[in-house]
Chain A
Amino acid sequence: MQTITQKLANPTRFMQLSGIVLPWIAGAAAAILCYGLFLVFAVAPIDYQQGETVKIMYIHVPSAWLAMMAYGLVALSSFGLLVFRHPLADVSAKAAVPIGAAFTFLALFTGSLWGKPMWGTYWVWDARLTSVLILFFLYLGLMALRSSLDDESTAAKLTAVLALVGVAILPIIKFSVDWWNTLHQPSTGLTSTIDPSMRIPLLIMALGFTLLFFAMHMKAMRNEVLRRRVKALRLSDIARRDGRTSQPTPAAG
Protein backbone atom coordinates (compact mmCIF):
# COMPACT_ATOMS: atom_id res chain seq x y z
CA MET A 1 0.00 0.00 0.00
CA GLN A 2 1.57 3.24 -1.14
CA THR A 3 1.11 6.51 0.65
CA ILE A 4 -0.08 9.56 -1.27
CA THR A 5 3.39 11.10 -1.40
CA GLN A 6 4.83 7.86 -2.72
CA LYS A 7 2.20 7.81 -5.47
CA LEU A 8 2.91 11.42 -6.36
CA ALA A 9 6.66 10.82 -6.29
CA ASN A 10 6.39 8.62 -9.33
CA PRO A 11 7.49 10.94 -12.17
CA THR A 12 5.07 9.44 -14.72
CA ARG A 13 2.10 9.85 -12.42
CA PHE A 14 3.31 13.32 -11.49
CA MET A 15 3.38 14.31 -15.15
CA GLN A 16 -0.16 13.00 -15.69
CA LEU A 17 -1.62 14.64 -12.60
CA SER A 18 0.19 17.95 -12.95
CA GLY A 19 -0.87 18.13 -16.60
CA ILE A 20 -4.50 18.07 -15.43
CA VAL A 21 -4.07 20.33 -12.38
CA LEU A 22 -1.71 22.96 -13.79
CA PRO A 23 -4.19 24.82 -16.09
CA TRP A 24 -6.64 25.13 -13.20
CA ILE A 25 -4.04 26.51 -10.78
CA ALA A 26 -2.70 28.90 -13.39
CA GLY A 27 -6.22 30.02 -14.30
CA ALA A 28 -7.17 30.50 -10.66
CA ALA A 29 -3.95 32.48 -10.06
CA ALA A 30 -4.69 34.76 -13.02
CA ALA A 31 -8.32 35.29 -12.01
CA ILE A 32 -7.53 35.98 -8.35
CA LEU A 33 -4.65 38.31 -9.23
CA CYS A 34 -6.92 40.26 -11.60
CA TYR A 35 -9.60 40.53 -8.92
CA GLY A 36 -6.95 41.44 -6.32
CA LEU A 37 -5.45 44.15 -8.52
CA PHE A 38 -8.93 45.51 -9.19
CA LEU A 39 -9.55 45.71 -5.43
CA VAL A 40 -6.13 47.28 -4.84
CA PHE A 41 -6.43 50.04 -7.41
CA ALA A 42 -10.18 50.67 -7.53
CA VAL A 43 -11.59 49.76 -4.13
CA ALA A 44 -8.96 49.85 -1.38
CA PRO A 45 -8.62 53.28 0.26
CA ILE A 46 -5.39 55.24 0.14
CA ASP A 47 -3.55 55.64 3.41
CA TYR A 48 -4.04 58.96 5.19
CA GLN A 49 -0.29 59.27 5.75
CA GLN A 50 1.29 57.28 2.95
CA GLY A 51 -1.04 58.29 0.12
CA GLU A 52 -0.90 56.17 -3.01
CA THR A 53 2.44 54.59 -2.08
CA VAL A 54 0.62 52.24 0.29
CA LYS A 55 -0.34 50.24 -2.79
CA ILE A 56 3.25 48.96 -2.96
CA MET A 57 2.34 46.92 0.10
CA TYR A 58 0.06 44.66 -1.95
CA ILE A 59 3.06 43.51 -4.02
CA HIS A 60 5.75 43.77 -1.35
CA VAL A 61 4.14 41.70 1.40
CA PRO A 62 3.13 38.70 -0.78
CA SER A 63 6.60 38.70 -2.43
CA ALA A 64 8.33 38.66 0.93
CA TRP A 65 6.06 35.89 2.16
CA LEU A 66 6.80 33.82 -0.95
CA ALA A 67 10.54 34.46 -0.69
CA MET A 68 10.49 32.66 2.64
CA MET A 69 7.95 30.01 1.69
CA ALA A 70 9.98 29.12 -1.40
CA TYR A 71 13.07 28.58 0.75
CA GLY A 72 11.01 26.42 3.08
CA LEU A 73 9.95 24.36 0.08
CA VAL A 74 13.56 24.09 -1.13
CA ALA A 75 14.65 22.92 2.33
CA LEU A 76 11.78 20.44 2.60
CA SER A 77 12.53 19.04 -0.87
CA SER A 78 16.23 18.82 0.00
CA PHE A 79 15.35 16.88 3.12
CA GLY A 80 13.17 14.59 1.00
CA LEU A 81 16.06 14.04 -1.40
CA LEU A 82 18.70 13.30 1.25
CA VAL A 83 16.52 11.13 3.49
CA PHE A 84 14.02 9.42 1.18
CA ARG A 85 16.05 9.72 -2.06
CA HIS A 86 13.09 10.71 -4.18
CA PRO A 87 14.33 11.89 -7.58
CA LEU A 88 11.30 14.16 -7.80
CA ALA A 89 12.32 15.94 -4.58
CA ASP A 90 15.42 17.20 -6.37
CA VAL A 91 13.33 18.33 -9.32
CA SER A 92 11.16 20.27 -6.88
CA ALA A 93 14.15 21.86 -5.11
CA LYS A 94 15.84 22.78 -8.38
CA ALA A 95 12.66 24.34 -9.77
CA ALA A 96 11.88 26.33 -6.62
CA VAL A 97 15.29 28.04 -6.24
CA PRO A 98 15.19 30.51 -9.17
CA ILE A 99 11.52 31.34 -8.51
CA GLY A 100 12.29 31.97 -4.84
CA ALA A 101 15.28 34.13 -5.81
CA ALA A 102 13.03 36.16 -8.13
CA PHE A 103 10.46 36.77 -5.38
CA THR A 104 13.23 37.68 -2.92
CA PHE A 105 14.55 40.20 -5.41
CA LEU A 106 11.02 41.52 -5.93
CA ALA A 107 10.51 41.91 -2.18
CA LEU A 108 13.83 43.79 -1.84
CA PHE A 109 13.13 45.94 -4.90
CA THR A 110 9.57 46.94 -3.99
CA GLY A 111 10.63 47.48 -0.39
CA SER A 112 13.37 49.79 -1.60
CA LEU A 113 10.92 51.77 -3.75
CA TRP A 114 8.54 51.99 -0.79
CA GLY A 115 11.34 52.98 1.57
CA LYS A 116 12.32 56.07 -0.41
CA PRO A 117 9.06 58.02 0.13
CA MET A 118 8.39 56.57 3.62
CA TRP A 119 11.79 56.36 5.29
CA GLY A 120 13.58 58.85 3.07
CA THR A 121 16.10 56.29 1.83
CA TYR A 122 16.19 53.39 -0.57
CA TRP A 123 18.17 51.21 1.77
CA VAL A 124 18.95 50.92 5.47
CA TRP A 125 21.01 48.22 7.13
CA ASP A 126 18.31 47.12 9.50
CA ALA A 127 17.92 43.54 10.62
CA ARG A 128 14.98 42.61 8.39
CA LEU A 129 16.48 44.06 5.21
CA THR A 130 19.90 42.59 5.90
CA SER A 131 18.57 39.12 6.64
CA VAL A 132 16.46 39.10 3.47
CA LEU A 133 19.53 40.19 1.51
CA ILE A 134 21.42 37.22 2.98
CA LEU A 135 18.55 34.99 1.88
CA PHE A 136 19.01 36.35 -1.64
CA PHE A 137 22.75 35.54 -1.52
CA LEU A 138 21.91 32.05 -0.30
CA TYR A 139 19.65 31.52 -3.31
CA LEU A 140 22.49 32.71 -5.57
CA GLY A 141 24.90 30.36 -3.80
CA LEU A 142 22.53 27.43 -4.34
CA MET A 143 22.28 28.19 -8.06
CA ALA A 144 26.03 28.71 -8.42
CA LEU A 145 26.89 25.50 -6.57
CA ARG A 146 24.51 23.46 -8.70
CA SER A 147 25.76 24.92 -11.97
CA SER A 148 29.43 24.37 -11.13
CA LEU A 149 29.20 20.60 -10.75
CA ASP A 150 29.07 18.36 -13.80
CA ASP A 151 27.51 15.30 -12.24
CA GLU A 152 23.81 16.02 -11.77
CA SER A 153 23.17 13.65 -8.90
CA THR A 154 26.21 14.89 -6.91
CA ALA A 155 25.17 18.48 -7.60
CA ALA A 156 21.65 17.73 -6.39
CA LYS A 157 22.79 16.23 -3.09
CA LEU A 158 25.44 18.87 -2.36
CA THR A 159 22.95 21.65 -3.06
CA ALA A 160 20.53 19.90 -0.72
CA VAL A 161 23.15 19.92 2.07
CA LEU A 162 23.74 23.65 1.57
CA ALA A 163 19.99 24.32 1.52
CA LEU A 164 19.59 22.54 4.86
CA VAL A 165 22.55 24.42 6.39
CA GLY A 166 21.05 27.71 5.25
CA VAL A 167 17.64 26.99 6.75
CA ALA A 168 18.80 28.74 9.94
CA ILE A 169 18.17 32.03 8.13
CA LEU A 170 14.38 31.57 8.09
CA PRO A 171 13.72 32.07 11.83
CA ILE A 172 16.22 34.96 11.81
CA ILE A 173 14.22 36.71 9.08
CA LYS A 174 10.89 35.95 10.71
CA PHE A 175 11.82 37.21 14.16
CA SER A 176 14.34 39.90 13.18
CA VAL A 177 11.68 42.59 13.61
CA ASP A 178 10.85 41.32 17.11
CA TRP A 179 14.40 40.67 18.34
CA TRP A 180 15.93 43.93 17.18
CA ASN A 181 14.46 47.38 17.36
CA THR A 182 14.41 48.08 13.65
CA LEU A 183 13.09 50.60 11.17
CA HIS A 184 11.11 47.89 9.40
CA GLN A 185 7.81 47.56 11.20
CA PRO A 186 6.94 44.34 13.06
CA SER A 187 4.47 41.99 11.45
CA THR A 188 0.87 43.02 11.86
CA GLY A 189 0.01 39.35 11.66
CA LEU A 190 -2.91 40.34 9.41
CA THR A 191 -4.93 41.00 12.53
CA SER A 192 -6.61 43.95 14.14
CA THR A 193 -3.91 46.58 13.41
CA ILE A 194 -4.71 46.61 9.70
CA ASP A 195 -8.17 47.76 8.64
CA PRO A 196 -10.37 45.19 6.81
CA SER A 197 -10.61 47.53 3.80
CA MET A 198 -6.88 46.93 3.27
CA ARG A 199 -6.55 43.53 4.89
CA ILE A 200 -8.93 41.77 2.52
CA PRO A 201 -7.26 42.96 -0.72
CA LEU A 202 -3.91 42.05 0.82
CA LEU A 203 -5.10 38.54 1.68
CA ILE A 204 -6.51 38.09 -1.83
CA MET A 205 -3.22 39.27 -3.37
CA ALA A 206 -1.30 36.91 -1.08
CA LEU A 207 -3.51 34.02 -2.20
CA GLY A 208 -3.08 35.00 -5.86
CA PHE A 209 0.72 35.24 -5.49
CA THR A 210 0.86 31.87 -3.74
CA LEU A 211 -1.16 30.22 -6.51
CA LEU A 212 1.06 31.94 -9.07
CA PHE A 213 4.11 30.52 -7.30
CA PHE A 214 2.72 27.00 -7.31
CA ALA A 215 1.71 27.28 -10.98
CA MET A 216 5.22 28.41 -11.95
CA HIS A 217 6.81 25.82 -9.70
CA MET A 218 4.74 23.02 -11.22
CA LYS A 219 5.50 24.22 -14.73
CA ALA A 220 9.23 24.41 -13.94
CA MET A 221 9.11 20.91 -12.45
CA ARG A 222 7.39 19.58 -15.59
CA ASN A 223 10.03 21.24 -17.76
CA GLU A 224 12.80 19.74 -15.65
CA VAL A 225 11.30 16.23 -15.88
CA LEU A 226 10.96 16.61 -19.65
CA ARG A 227 14.53 17.93 -19.90
CA ARG A 228 15.84 14.89 -18.06
CA ARG A 229 13.81 12.57 -20.30
CA VAL A 230 15.18 14.23 -23.42
CA LYS A 231 18.69 13.93 -22.02
CA ALA A 232 18.19 10.23 -21.24
CA LEU A 233 16.75 9.62 -24.73
CA ARG A 234 19.69 11.41 -26.36
CA LEU A 235 22.20 9.42 -24.31
CA SER A 236 20.56 6.09 -25.17
CA ASP A 237 20.39 7.15 -28.82
CA ILE A 238 24.10 7.92 -28.85
CA ALA A 239 24.87 4.65 -27.09
CA ARG A 240 22.79 2.76 -29.67
CA ARG A 241 24.51 4.47 -32.59
CA ASP A 242 27.96 3.89 -31.09
CA GLY A 243 27.10 0.25 -30.62
CA ARG A 244 26.14 -0.05 -34.29
CA THR A 245 29.27 1.58 -35.72
CA SER A 246 31.71 -0.24 -33.47
CA GLN A 247 30.40 -3.67 -34.49
CA PRO A 248 31.87 -4.92 -37.77
CA THR A 249 29.17 -5.27 -40.38
CA PRO A 250 28.83 -8.68 -42.08
CA ALA A 251 29.41 -7.22 -45.56
CA ALA A 252 32.73 -5.64 -44.57
CA GLY A 253 33.85 -8.73 -42.69
Chain B
Amino acid sequence: MKAFLSLLTRDLRLAARDGGALGTAFGFFLIVVALMPLGLGPDLNLLSRIAAGILWIALLLAALLSLGRIFETDHDDGTLEVLATGPLPLELVTTAKALAHWISTGIPLALLAPLLGILLNLELKAYPVLIATMLAGTPAVSFLGAIGAALTLKARRGGLLLALVVLPLYVPTLIFGIAAVSAAAGPDGLTASFLILSAISLAAVALGPWAAAAALRIQMQ
Protein backbone atom coordinates (compact mmCIF):
# COMPACT_ATOMS: atom_id res chain seq x y z
CA MET B 1 0.00 0.00 0.00
CA LYS B 2 2.85 2.33 0.85
CA ALA B 3 4.56 1.59 -2.44
CA PHE B 4 1.27 2.16 -4.26
CA LEU B 5 0.76 5.54 -2.59
CA SER B 6 4.31 6.67 -3.19
CA LEU B 7 4.06 5.73 -6.86
CA LEU B 8 0.77 7.64 -7.07
CA THR B 9 2.20 10.77 -5.43
CA ARG B 10 5.31 10.55 -7.59
CA ASP B 11 3.21 10.48 -10.78
CA LEU B 12 1.02 13.33 -9.53
CA ARG B 13 4.06 15.39 -8.60
CA LEU B 14 5.58 14.76 -12.03
CA ALA B 15 2.34 15.81 -13.70
CA ALA B 16 2.12 18.96 -11.56
CA ARG B 17 5.71 20.07 -12.01
CA ASP B 18 5.88 19.19 -15.70
CA GLY B 19 3.02 21.54 -16.45
CA GLY B 20 3.55 21.41 -20.19
CA ALA B 21 1.59 18.24 -20.84
CA LEU B 22 -1.42 19.29 -18.80
CA GLY B 23 -1.27 22.74 -20.36
CA THR B 24 -1.33 21.17 -23.81
CA ALA B 25 -4.41 19.15 -22.91
CA PHE B 26 -6.16 22.26 -21.58
CA GLY B 27 -5.19 24.30 -24.64
CA PHE B 28 -6.40 21.56 -26.96
CA PHE B 29 -9.69 21.31 -25.06
CA LEU B 30 -10.19 25.06 -25.37
CA ILE B 31 -9.31 25.16 -29.07
CA VAL B 32 -11.59 22.26 -30.07
CA VAL B 33 -14.50 23.88 -28.23
CA ALA B 34 -13.72 27.30 -29.73
CA LEU B 35 -13.52 25.88 -33.26
CA MET B 36 -16.98 24.31 -33.09
CA PRO B 37 -19.00 27.58 -33.26
CA LEU B 38 -16.76 28.73 -36.10
CA GLY B 39 -17.62 25.60 -38.07
CA LEU B 40 -21.29 25.39 -37.11
CA GLY B 41 -22.15 29.08 -37.20
CA PRO B 42 -22.80 31.31 -34.19
CA ASP B 43 -26.44 30.22 -33.66
CA LEU B 44 -26.74 30.27 -29.86
CA ASN B 45 -29.87 28.08 -29.77
CA LEU B 46 -28.19 25.37 -31.79
CA LEU B 47 -25.00 25.62 -29.73
CA SER B 48 -26.80 25.38 -26.43
CA ARG B 49 -28.59 22.24 -27.65
CA ILE B 50 -25.40 20.41 -28.66
CA ALA B 51 -23.06 21.95 -26.05
CA ALA B 52 -22.91 18.82 -23.88
CA GLY B 53 -21.96 16.67 -26.85
CA ILE B 54 -19.24 19.08 -27.98
CA LEU B 55 -17.76 19.29 -24.48
CA TRP B 56 -17.72 15.50 -24.11
CA ILE B 57 -16.05 14.96 -27.49
CA ALA B 58 -13.49 17.68 -26.81
CA LEU B 59 -12.77 16.14 -23.41
CA LEU B 60 -12.19 12.70 -24.97
CA LEU B 61 -9.83 14.15 -27.59
CA ALA B 62 -7.94 16.20 -25.02
CA ALA B 63 -7.58 13.19 -22.75
CA LEU B 64 -6.43 11.09 -25.71
CA LEU B 65 -3.63 13.56 -26.28
CA SER B 66 -2.23 12.93 -22.81
CA LEU B 67 -2.70 9.13 -22.72
CA GLY B 68 0.64 8.40 -24.33
CA ARG B 69 2.32 9.96 -21.30
CA ILE B 70 1.00 7.30 -18.91
CA PHE B 71 3.70 4.75 -19.69
CA GLU B 72 5.87 6.32 -22.38
CA THR B 73 8.23 8.50 -20.35
CA ASP B 74 8.73 5.78 -17.75
CA HIS B 75 9.42 3.29 -20.50
CA ASP B 76 11.93 5.59 -22.19
CA ASP B 77 14.09 6.13 -19.11
CA GLY B 78 13.79 2.55 -17.87
CA THR B 79 11.69 3.31 -14.78
CA LEU B 80 8.99 0.95 -16.01
CA GLU B 81 11.38 -2.01 -15.92
CA VAL B 82 12.40 -1.15 -12.37
CA LEU B 83 8.74 -0.97 -11.39
CA ALA B 84 8.02 -4.28 -13.12
CA THR B 85 10.76 -6.07 -11.23
CA GLY B 86 9.88 -4.36 -7.94
CA PRO B 87 7.72 -5.77 -5.14
CA LEU B 88 4.54 -4.00 -6.29
CA PRO B 89 2.43 -6.21 -8.62
CA LEU B 90 2.28 -4.81 -12.13
CA GLU B 91 -1.52 -4.64 -11.88
CA LEU B 92 -1.18 -2.15 -9.00
CA VAL B 93 1.46 -0.19 -10.92
CA THR B 94 -0.96 0.25 -13.82
CA THR B 95 -3.76 1.10 -11.37
CA ALA B 96 -1.61 3.80 -9.77
CA LYS B 97 -0.60 5.27 -13.10
CA ALA B 98 -4.13 5.29 -14.51
CA LEU B 99 -5.42 6.79 -11.24
CA ALA B 100 -2.75 9.48 -11.44
CA HIS B 101 -3.82 10.22 -15.00
CA TRP B 102 -7.42 10.56 -13.85
CA ILE B 103 -6.54 12.90 -10.98
CA SER B 104 -4.12 14.99 -13.02
CA THR B 105 -6.08 15.15 -16.29
CA GLY B 106 -9.62 13.77 -15.97
CA ILE B 107 -10.71 15.79 -12.95
CA PRO B 108 -9.22 19.14 -14.10
CA LEU B 109 -10.74 18.72 -17.57
CA ALA B 110 -14.14 17.87 -16.06
CA LEU B 111 -13.97 20.94 -13.81
CA LEU B 112 -12.87 23.12 -16.71
CA ALA B 113 -15.74 21.99 -18.95
CA PRO B 114 -18.42 24.29 -17.43
CA LEU B 115 -16.17 27.27 -18.03
CA LEU B 116 -16.06 26.38 -21.71
CA GLY B 117 -19.81 25.74 -21.55
CA ILE B 118 -20.19 29.53 -21.31
CA LEU B 119 -18.72 29.80 -24.80
CA LEU B 120 -21.40 27.41 -26.06
CA ASN B 121 -24.33 29.03 -24.25
CA LEU B 122 -24.91 25.93 -22.14
CA GLU B 123 -27.93 26.32 -19.86
CA LEU B 124 -27.04 27.14 -16.26
CA LYS B 125 -29.12 24.34 -14.79
CA ALA B 126 -27.20 21.77 -16.85
CA TYR B 127 -23.88 22.67 -15.19
CA PRO B 128 -24.05 20.45 -12.09
CA VAL B 129 -25.27 17.52 -14.20
CA LEU B 130 -22.49 18.02 -16.71
CA ILE B 131 -19.79 18.09 -14.01
CA ALA B 132 -21.32 15.05 -12.29
CA THR B 133 -21.43 12.95 -15.49
CA MET B 134 -17.91 13.96 -16.44
CA LEU B 135 -16.55 13.10 -13.01
CA ALA B 136 -18.36 9.76 -13.20
CA GLY B 137 -17.25 9.05 -16.76
CA THR B 138 -13.61 10.17 -16.78
CA PRO B 139 -12.32 7.17 -14.75
CA ALA B 140 -13.38 5.02 -17.71
CA VAL B 141 -11.48 7.39 -19.99
CA SER B 142 -8.27 7.03 -17.96
CA PHE B 143 -8.46 3.29 -17.27
CA LEU B 144 -9.51 2.25 -20.80
CA GLY B 145 -6.89 4.67 -22.06
CA ALA B 146 -4.26 2.94 -19.95
CA ILE B 147 -5.01 -0.30 -21.81
CA GLY B 148 -4.49 1.46 -25.13
CA ALA B 149 -1.34 3.20 -23.92
CA ALA B 150 0.11 -0.12 -22.74
CA LEU B 151 -0.80 -1.89 -25.99
CA THR B 152 0.81 0.74 -28.22
CA LEU B 153 3.87 1.33 -26.05
CA LYS B 154 6.37 -0.05 -28.54
CA ALA B 155 4.36 0.40 -31.72
CA ARG B 156 5.51 2.50 -34.62
CA ARG B 157 3.24 5.54 -35.20
CA GLY B 158 2.05 4.97 -31.63
CA GLY B 159 0.02 8.17 -31.36
CA LEU B 160 -2.28 7.57 -34.31
CA LEU B 161 -2.62 3.91 -33.46
CA LEU B 162 -3.58 4.79 -29.89
CA ALA B 163 -6.53 6.81 -31.22
CA LEU B 164 -7.68 3.95 -33.45
CA VAL B 165 -7.44 1.44 -30.60
CA VAL B 166 -8.94 3.55 -27.82
CA LEU B 167 -11.70 5.58 -29.46
CA PRO B 168 -13.94 2.55 -30.21
CA LEU B 169 -13.61 1.59 -26.54
CA TYR B 170 -14.73 5.10 -25.55
CA VAL B 171 -17.98 4.99 -27.48
CA PRO B 172 -20.20 3.57 -24.68
CA THR B 173 -18.84 6.17 -22.24
CA LEU B 174 -19.57 8.95 -24.71
CA ILE B 175 -23.09 7.69 -25.49
CA PHE B 176 -24.16 7.34 -21.86
CA GLY B 177 -22.38 10.51 -20.76
CA ILE B 178 -24.36 12.57 -23.24
CA ALA B 179 -27.53 10.55 -22.63
CA ALA B 180 -27.29 11.37 -18.92
CA VAL B 181 -26.94 15.10 -19.59
CA SER B 182 -29.86 15.23 -22.00
CA ALA B 183 -32.02 12.93 -19.83
CA ALA B 184 -31.56 15.26 -16.86
CA ALA B 185 -33.61 17.88 -18.70
CA GLY B 186 -36.37 15.38 -19.52
CA PRO B 187 -39.13 13.92 -17.33
CA ASP B 188 -37.31 10.68 -16.47
CA GLY B 189 -34.36 12.33 -14.76
CA LEU B 190 -30.80 11.26 -15.24
CA THR B 191 -30.74 8.19 -12.97
CA ALA B 192 -30.74 5.36 -15.51
CA SER B 193 -28.06 6.68 -17.87
CA PHE B 194 -25.99 7.98 -14.97
CA LEU B 195 -26.00 4.57 -13.30
CA ILE B 196 -24.94 2.83 -16.54
CA LEU B 197 -22.18 5.42 -17.00
CA SER B 198 -20.94 4.74 -13.46
CA ALA B 199 -21.12 1.01 -14.14
CA ILE B 200 -18.93 1.42 -17.23
CA SER B 201 -16.43 3.42 -15.18
CA LEU B 202 -16.35 0.85 -12.39
CA ALA B 203 -15.92 -2.01 -14.87
CA ALA B 204 -13.05 -0.12 -16.54
CA VAL B 205 -11.39 0.52 -13.16
CA ALA B 206 -11.77 -3.13 -12.21
CA LEU B 207 -10.62 -4.71 -15.49
CA GLY B 208 -8.39 -2.08 -17.11
CA PRO B 209 -5.33 -2.58 -14.88
CA TRP B 210 -5.29 -6.33 -15.60
CA ALA B 211 -5.36 -5.87 -19.36
CA ALA B 212 -2.78 -3.06 -19.22
CA ALA B 213 -0.49 -5.13 -16.99
CA ALA B 214 -0.81 -8.12 -19.34
CA ALA B 215 0.11 -5.92 -22.29
CA LEU B 216 3.15 -4.51 -20.45
CA ARG B 217 4.31 -7.97 -19.40
CA ILE B 218 4.20 -9.23 -22.99
CA GLN B 219 6.43 -6.37 -24.11
CA MET B 220 8.97 -6.64 -21.32
CA GLN B 221 9.82 -10.31 -21.64
Contact = CB atoms under 8 A, between A and B. Distances in A.
Size bracket, chain B contacts: 20 to 34
Contacts of A162: 147, 151, 165
Chain B contact residues: helix, strand, loop or mixed: helix
A145 B168 contact: no
Contacts of B218: 154, 157-158, 161
A252 interface: no
Contacts, number: 58
Given A130-B171, A158-B218, A165 B161 contact: no
A174 B166 CA distance: 22
Interface residues of A, number: 22
B168 A161 contact: no
Interface of A: 82, 130, 134, 137-138, 140-141, 144-145, 148-150, 154, 157-158, 161-162, 164-166, 169, 172
Nearest to A164: B211
A49 B157 CA distance: 51
A158 B171 contact: no
Contact of A144 (B154, B164, B214): B164
8 contacts: A140-B164, A145-B165, A148-B152, A148-B156, A157-B218, A158-B219, A165-B211, A169-B168
B157 A158 contact: no
B161 A134 contact: no
B167 A154 contact: no
Given A137-B164, A158-B219, A148 B155 contact: yes
Contacts of A82: 214
A166 B168 contact: yes
Contacts of A148: 152, 155-158, 161
A161 B215 contact: yes
Chain A contact residues: helix, strand, loop or mixed: helix
Given A148-B157, A158-B151, A164-B211, A134 B171 contact: yes
Contacts of B175: 130
Given A141-B161, A165-B207, 8 more contacts: A130-B175, A138-B168, A140-B164, A145-B151, A145-B165, A148-B156, A162-B151, A164-B211
Given A154-B218, A158-B218, A137 B167 contact: yes
Contacts of B168: 134, 137-138, 141, 166, 169
A140 B152 CA distance: 14
The 6 A-B pairs with the shortest beta carbon distances in the complex, nearest first, are A148-B155, A137-B168, A157-B218, A141-B165, A141-B164, A148-B156
Contacts of B158: 148
Which of A130, A149, A161 counts the most chain B CB atoms within 10 A? Answer: A161
Contacts of B154: 149, 154
B156 to A, nearest CB: 5
Contacts of B165: 141, 144-145, 162
Which of B151, B157, B168 counts the most chain A CB atoms within 10 A? Answer: B168
